[in-house]
Structure 1
Amino acid sequence: MATALAGLFSLRWTNPPTLHPLPDHISRSYVSTPGGPLELLYASPSQKSNAENKKYPVLFVHGGYGRATVWLEWMTVLSQKHNFPCYAISLRGHGASYDPGYFSTLFSTTTAAMMDDLVAAIHEVEIREGQKCILAGHSAGGGMVQGVLDQNLAVARALVLVAAIPNFGSMGIYSNWFRLDPWFLVRSCFHLQHPRSPLSHPSLVHRAFFSAECPMSVAEDFSHWMPKYESVRWPGGMASRFVDVHRVLANILGGGDGGRIKVLIMAGEKDKMVSLDLVTQTAAEYRQGVSESKGSEDRGIEMTITPGAGHHLQNDVQRDEGAEQLAAFLERL
């Protein structure tokens, strides 16, 4: 009850854009869209490259209650240590991007609307870099990167799914969440159905997003920068099977011309939301999709597990290990 009361007093009905501090090697700009400006972060490679050794750009996409800055640590490792140009987008209502307002966010911001933001970011990166990018999405953002490929809205150099909503939908994730938090529905009623009720207190954020080894201070800082509310229609649009893996694979460069498809599926060993059984099933379905479409044993579908990490493996105490797992995959491209 104490957590529910504390959470009630933390709930807000306005969500002004917030400027998270950035390290010197990461800059902030904006992508223009019909609705408003979207925050785009850029981490420049530590060394200048020429046409012969230029590496593929990576575009990171956050999940629910995320923002572009959840990727700062991984962007730093990839750009400064491994020389990859890295970008991260804040979708509408997140980070320093424009806020549509409480009711518009909750009831009018659909999965399709969020995908419009993502497509705008993809086009911006392609213009800046002069080539297709690697798409990397976390949680609901991982569902979205699959969605834009499935609907032929973009073409990717490679695909990275980080504790992502599976291609077969998010119902298993919500089942895990309800088991993790038995007071979920009761607290939500007490909080007048406010969408941030399940994450209204740092202890709830810590339990859902991080490992037991992660200090509570990390969850407290993470909570401070979270959006004050979230769309209920965005993740809801991915509740059941929402993409066909064959269409997703067909829009990864190399997938249709005899080349080796490249998909990395990343998991946190202690993720209580996107549990290992869901991640393993995702990998199995993508491998089956490659086998059916290419008839090849050289499937190009890889899976990594970060030992001890929770759902936000890019922010948990094991984040450097996860970053190196991703870097090893990218180097093989």
Structure 2
Amino acid sequence: MASLLYLHTTLPNKMTVKPLAVLNKAHKMRVPFELKQGQTRVSHQLPSGLNIEVIEQKSVTSKDPDKKNEKRPPLVFVHGSYHAAWCWAEHWLPFFADSGFDCYAVSLLGQGESDAPPGTVAGSLQTHAGDVADFIQKNLSLPPVLLGHSFGGLIIQYYIARIRNEKMLEMETPYPEIAGAVLVCSVPPSGNSGLVWRYLFTKPIAAFKVTRSLAAKAFQTDLSLCKETFFSSSMEDHLVLRYQELMKESSRMPLFDLRKLNASLPVPSVPKSSIKVLVLGAKDDFIVDAQGLSETGSFYGVLPVCVEGVAHDMMLDCSWEKGASVILSWLDGLRR
């Protein structure tokens, strides 16, 4: 979640599948993420001609005869600021692939191994959500579940609003239907302004630390501050150092222009819909507070789940299995 305390603050009936090309160009990141067994780094070309990185990991065939022919929705993961597809590939892609899901983690433009667009920022809520929609439309045959972290969660909220509101108006929409959404430590629908003011008035020391860490990017050089911002206190330093280097290399340009982003918020309200949403927070989140988590839950009319013993980067933290297990139980419930 970049610069938290910066106050200026018709889908075609027939889906065309465009093959993904395996990336063979030199790494854009000087500290590349080494893929794990079963993972492939591929490139999806957007209508603009720019390419986004996708790390995919296909499902492991279930040994349970009752689940062998079961079609589970693919999972599409969207990262937040200072991250890229690799943050999901470390733990959660292997976990969910082993649980029978095809997994796809995208790197938004200007992040990870994806191309950088012209200009000074990577995009907007609209353009990032549109890029995710383009990937889904051209490559997936089943409606996926979208999972977004931090500002990636806000992008998914915008995606949901576009689907629902355009459908209500009987408009053609380029946003394919989805099977559900999981918002992980997500920026709330109103953006980060409420978080900003609460920190300034109730936790001034924490406000200074978060501003220094994110707005001034001090997390890139200060190991203890990086740990406090993103991870649990019990996280081993050598892991924090590794992720610190990957985060530093992941973002060649800001994910958003925060002034324009805040001016475009809150996310449009969502008419009553059948899209199931899981709002998931972390008890030890140094960035998104309990009130921010509650706001997101209220917006979707669901009770948020707050996971004990994990921090903001739930998918990388030392107890990453806790959040993954909650999501897996929720995904199992989608079939009922």
Separation (CA, whole Å) in 2 of partners of 1:177 and 1:123: 40
What aligned pairs does 1:76-95 form with structure 2 within 5 A after superposition? 76-80=94-98, 82-95=99-112
> Residue 50 of structure 2 contacts residue 115 of structure 2 at CA under 8 Å; is this kept in 1?
yes
Contact 1:32 1:38 in 2 (8 A): yes
State the SS of the aligned residue for 1:160.
strand
CA RMSD of aligned residues (A): 2.7
Counterpart in the other structure of 1:242: 266
Structure 1 residues 305 and 32: alpha-carbon distance in aligned structure 2, compared to 1, 3 A threshold: same
What CA distance in whole angstroms lies between the structure 1 residues aligned with 2:209 and 2:54? 36
The CA deviation at 1:277 is 1.9
CA-CA distance at 1:16 after TM superposition: 2.9
Measured in 1, the distance between the counterparts of 2:155 and 2:197 equals: 20
The alpha-carbon deviation at position 172 of structure 1 amounts to 2.9
Would you say the 8 A contact 1:269–1:306 is kept in 2?
yes
Question: Quick check: 1:60 aligned with 2:82?
Answer: no
Does the Cα contact within 8 Å between 1:170 and 1:238 map onto a contact in 2?
A: no
**Cα gap change, 1:283/1:326 in structure 2, threshold over 3 Å: closer, same or farther?**
same
- How far apart, in 1, do the equivalents of 2:71 and 2:329 lie? 16
Q: Is the 8 A contact 2:283 2:311 kept in 1?
A: yes
Residues 62/219 of structure 1: CA separation in 2 closer, same or farther (3 Å cut): same
Unaligned runs of 5+ in 1: 1-14, 189-193, 256-260, 288-300
Q: Give the residue type in structure 2 aligned to 1:71.
A: W
**SS at 2:300's partner residue?**
helix
Mapped pair 1:21 → 2:34: yes
* Aligned: 1:233 with 2:256: yes
Structure 1 residue 149 corresponds to structure 2 residue 167: no
Task: List per-residue Cα deviations over 1:179-235 (Å, max 9, x = no partner).
Answer: 4252666x69xxxxx966243323332121112122222221112112254426355
Matching residue's letter, 2:154: G
Return the offset for 1:237. 4.5
Percentage identity across aligned positions? Answer: 23
8 Å Cα contact 1:56/1:85 also seen in 2: yes
Aligned to 2:51: 37
Does residue 131 of structure 2 align to residue 131 of structure 1? Answer: no
Tell me the residue number matched to 1:115. Answer: 129
CA distance in 1, matches of 2:285, 2:209: 20
Partner Cα distance (1:282, 1:319) in 2: 22
Q: Hey, what's the Cα distance between the residues in 2 that align with 1:266 and 1:183? A: 24
SS in 1 for 2:120: helix
Distance 1:234 1:302, change over 3 A: farther
The match for 1:105 among 120, 127, 134 is 120
> What SS does structure 1 have at the residue aligned with 2:110?
coil
Deviations 1:135-165 (A, max 9, x none): 1100000000111221233421101100011
- The worse-fitting range, judged by mean Cα deviation, of 90-99 and 210-219 is 210-219
Q: Which amino acid aligns with 2:75?
A: V
Work out whether residues 195 and 232 of structure 1, in 8 Å CA contact, stay in contact via their aligned partners in 2.
no
Give how far 1:111 is off: 2.9
Asked if the contact 2:144–2:180 (Cα under 8 Å) also holds between the matched residues in 1, the reply is yes
Greater helix share, structure number: 1
Instruction: Tell me the equivalent position of 2:208.
Output: 182
Q: Deviations over 1:30-54 (max 9, x none)?
A: 1102152111111111106999511
SS of the residue aligned with 1:27?
Answer: strand
Change (3 A) 1:236 1:204: farther
- In structure 2, runs of 5+ residues without a counterpart are 1-26, 164-174
Alignment of 1:180-259 (within 5 A): 180-182=206-208, 197-201=217-221, 202-226=223-247, 227-231=250-254, 233-239=256-262, 241-247=265-271, 250=273, 255=274
Contact 2:111/2:252 (<8 A) preserved: no
Q: Is the CA contact 1:61–1:90 (under 8 Å) kept in the aligned structure 2?
A: yes
TM-score (norm 2): 0.75
The CA distance in 2 between the partners of 1:184 and 1:51, in whole Å, is 47
228 and 274 in structure 1: CA distance in 2 versus 1, 3 angstrom threshold: same
- Residues paired across the two proteins, number: 283
Say which SS state the counterpart of residue 239 (structure 1) adopts.
Answer: helix
* CA 1:56–1:184: 2 relative to 1, 3 Å: closer
